[in-house]
Chains A and B, each alone.
Chain A
Amino acid sequence: MNFFRLHNISLIIFLLSSTVYSQVIEVCKSCDISTIKEGILQAEDHDTLLIKKGTYKEYNIDVNKPLTLLGEDFPVIDGELKGEIIKVTADNVTLDGLFIINVGTSYTEDYAAVRVIRSKNFLIQNLVLEKLFFGIYLEKSSDGRVYHNKIIGDAEEEYNSGNGIQLWYSQNIEVDKNIVTHVRDGIYLEFSNFCKITNNISSHNIRYGLHFMFSNDDLYERNTFQNNGAGVAVMFSKKIEMYHNIFKDNWGSASFGVLLKEINDSEIIGNIFESNTIGINIEGSNRINYKNNDFINNGWAIKSRGACYANHFINNNFMYNSFDLAYNSKLNDNKFESNYWSNYTGYDLDKDGVGDVPYRPVKLFSYVVNRTPEAIILLRSLFIDIIDFSEKVSPVFTPDNLLDAKPKMKMIAHD
């Protein structure tokens, strides 16, 4: 009897210590455990590895137990360009406060600073990644959070560089408050649904700030994409929500604020598109609501390349764009209503804030430039102004019903 009681108590103590009172294992150069790999080997499930300040030259660290790797004063994990650095293969893993540098570059394998494989409930936060190939690579994982990391690459060419944060077949991931610069694609999603990408800053990447394909039901909110080689490209996805993002300074011959290709049933609301060669480039995208966006100082605010139907543009500001809209077909099924156009020259006699004459956002010149790109050299010439004016008076080349019947007289204040 007594023996059984004792046995029960010890069992309870054992269970408590392993789940609630998990152990803290210190890793430092002068400790008993001087490498992270050894620490992982020694640790029990749910332990915390406290990694002290120092440089750890390790790679292929396999976190195969539910552990917390907590860095103190940003310990450096130096992969010495030999390959992958941290690989997470267990559920419930937390990585916090590490400085990871020198990921190996390979042309056959995608080495990453941190790779999460088939795991759930992970948390990756406060990491600093430098000199990397791929940054944080989530593979077939779900229910995780990537929070407040800083990824600074040194990519120069597309073919030998990787992406900052990559999600592949991953569901329910939150990517919040990260900073990604100088990699190939800042944030990349493929086959990843129900993800939330919020408050990130992705800039100076050589290809796209944000790139996703075949990723449905995702939310993108309050991110800033600035100065990326080709802006943001989103393709072949449904039910995307983009709210209050900033797309800025994507100048270049093939650069966009956003490239939408085969995106359906989505909401694009409250975003700012400023100083891009093309604000939004739309191709084969249907049933999208564009509301309360600001298009400022772009070459083309919106370039529609065809096969775009039932899109609604409501309450947007179009200000000082060289072209408000380029449209290459005679058929129009998109609705423009109650936008503010800085190029509008109509009047408002009844003073209700809505212009009495409809506004036609497609200029003849933008139609000409679509056909003959070289003609752009005549931009802002007097002759062009004259033909634009005559087209405005009686449209011949541009769709007759492509107009904003209720243009606002004053800029719309959002938020």
Chain B
Amino acid sequence: MIKILKYSCYDLLRSRWSYVYFAFYLLLGIVLLFLNNDLSKAVITLMNVIIILVPLIGTIFGVMYYYNSKEFTELLLAQPVKRSSIFLGQYLGVALSLSMSLIIGLGVPFIFYGIFRSSAIWDFSLLLITGTFLTLIFTALAFNIALYNENKIKGFGYAILLWLFMAVIYDGIFLMSLIAFEEYPLDTFSLVGTMVNPIDLSRVLILLKLDISALLGYTGALFQKFFGTNFGIVVSSVMLLLWVLVPTLLIKRKAGKKDF
């Protein structure tokens, strides 16, 4: 598995798209820092970018990579290699190279700016951690979609739909139901609703770390109490981990059964 992981990784690192992705983050970081001059403002803007773009790129890249390397995968399948290690290796290869682009691309300008001497270091690391988690989650979901759909067009369609649902439609439904049930106590509901969607969870985690937490008003006090404590952090991390593990296990299961 390590060998396949390494191969996928190198393959991707040599490809143009990784560089474009890396360069994009590098540029973003530099522009934000030197136009803004305010570290915590830059972190907020970055958050907006990360919770929207990272899932999108993870999904599209994952689906694309699977379909592109399909012939090579079939070749590998003819060899005496375990199926799960082929697919998991490929998945991890894609996810890790994407995460590396993200971390290095954003990290370099921030290090030059002096993040280590700034109090925003924790906000920034949280940003990178959630970014990495989102990459892992959405690449795994993308691999699932690709494994379940032989048809490329369909696969891409579903992938885009998945992203659209998680990033936009889910919040719409969430907001609608909040308004529809405004007569009822909504504290627990809104907590659960946020926990279930990894994009929302990441957003709220970052928002609470920034000063905006107090803005959340008396309802915010509840969120602050939940996410601010160790228990809340553990639950959120478990939730994010589940979002990584469940799709990964699904990849393994589907890959084991699938006819090629």
Give residues in A with beta carbon < 8 Å to B: 251-255, 275, 277, 297, 299-300, 320, 322, 368, 371-384, 386
Query: CB within 8 A of B218: which of A253, A377, A386?
Result: A253
| Contact, CB under 8 Å: A374 / B172 | no
| Contact, CB under 8 Å: B203 / A368 | no
Give residues in B with beta carbon < 8 Å to A: 41, 44, 47-48, 51-52, 167-169, 171-172, 174-175, 178-179, 182, 186-187, 189-190, 193-194, 200, 203-204, 207, 211-212, 214-221, 223
| Contact, CB under 8 Å: A277 / B215 | yes
| Contact, CB under 8 Å: B178 / A383 | no
| Contact, CB under 8 Å: A377 / B214 | no
| Contact, CB under 8 Å: A376 / B216 | yes
A38 CB, min distance to chain B CBs, angstroms: 54
Q: Please measure, in the bound complex, the distance between the C-alpha atom of A316 and the C-alpha atom of B186, giving whole angstroms.
A: 37
Contacts of B193 in A (CB 8 A): 377
Query: CB within 8 A of B175: which of A254, A275, A383?
Result: A383
Q: Please measure, in the bound complex, the distance between the C-alpha atom of A384 and the C-alpha atom of B170, giving whole angstroms.
A: 11
| Contact, CB under 8 Å: B48 / A383 | no
Given A368-B179, A371-B182, A384-B171, decide whether A277 and B214 contact each other with a Cβ distance below 8 A.
yes
Query: CB within 8 A of B171: which of A277, A373, A376, A382?
Result: A382
Given A372-B179, A374-B187, decide whether A380 and B217 contact each other with a Cβ distance below 8 A.
no
Q: Please measure, in the bound complex, the distance between the C-alpha atom of A383 and the C-alpha atom of B168, giving whole angstroms.
A: 5
Q: Please measure, in the bound complex, the distance between the C-alpha atom of A299 and the C-alpha atom of B213, giving whole angstroms.
A: 9
Given A376-B220, A380-B48, decide whether A299 and B215 contact each other with a Cβ distance below 8 A.
yes
Contacts of B167 in A (CB 8 A): 382-383
Q: Please measure, in the bound complex, the distance between the C-alpha atom of A179 and the C-alpha atom of B212, giving whole angstroms.
A: 29
| Contact, CB under 8 Å: B204 / A251 | no
Contacts of B171 in A (CB 8 A): 378, 381-384
Give 9 A-B pairs besides A299-B215, A373-B219, A383-B171 with Cβ atoms closer than 8 angstroms: A253-B218, A372-B179, A374-B186, A374-B189, A379-B215, A379-B216, A382-B51, A382-B168, A384-B171
Q: Please measure, in the bound complex, the distance between the C-alpha atom of A322 and the C-alpha atom of B211, giving whole angstroms.
A: 11
Closest 5 CB pairs of A and B: A299-B215, A383-B171, A251-B214, A253-B218, A374-B186
Contacts of B194 in A (CB 8 A): 377
Q: Please measure, in the bound complex, the distance between the C-alpha atom of A314 and the C-alpha atom of B174, giving whole angstroms.
A: 38
Q: Please measure, in the bound complex, the distance between the C-alpha atom of A377 and the C-alpha atom of B218, giving whole angstroms.
A: 12
Query: CB within 8 A of B212: which of A252, A254, A322, A386?
Result: A322
Contacts of B48 in A (CB 8 A): 380
Contacts of A254 in B (CB 8 A): 218
B130 CB, min distance to chain A CBs, angstroms: 14
22 A-B pairs in the complex with CB atoms less than 8 angstroms apart: A253-B220, A253-B221, A254-B218, A277-B214, A300-B215, A322-B212, A372-B179, A372-B182, A374-B219, A376-B216, A377-B190, A377-B204, A377-B219, A377-B223, A379-B207, A379-B216, A380-B203, A380-B207, A381-B171, A382-B168, A383-B167, A383-B169
B100 CB, min distance to chain A CBs, angstroms: 25
Contacts of B218 in A (CB 8 A): 253-254, 373
Q: Please measure, in the bound complex, the distance between the C-alpha atom of A338 and the C-alpha atom of B52, giving whole angstroms.
A: 35
Return the chain B residue nearest A299 by Cβ.
Answer: B215
Contacts of B203 in A (CB 8 A): 380-381
Q: Please measure, in the bound complex, the distance between the C-alpha atom of A376 and the C-alpha atom of B74, giving whole angstroms.
A: 49
| Contact, CB under 8 Å: B217 / A277 | yes
Contacts of A379 in B (CB 8 A): 207, 212, 215-216
Contacts of A372 in B (CB 8 A): 178-179, 182, 186
| Contact, CB under 8 Å: B168 / A375 | no
| Contact, CB under 8 Å: A368 / B217 | no
Q: Please measure, in the bound complex, the distance between the C-alpha atom of A158 and the C-alpha atom of B243, giving whole angstroms.
A: 46
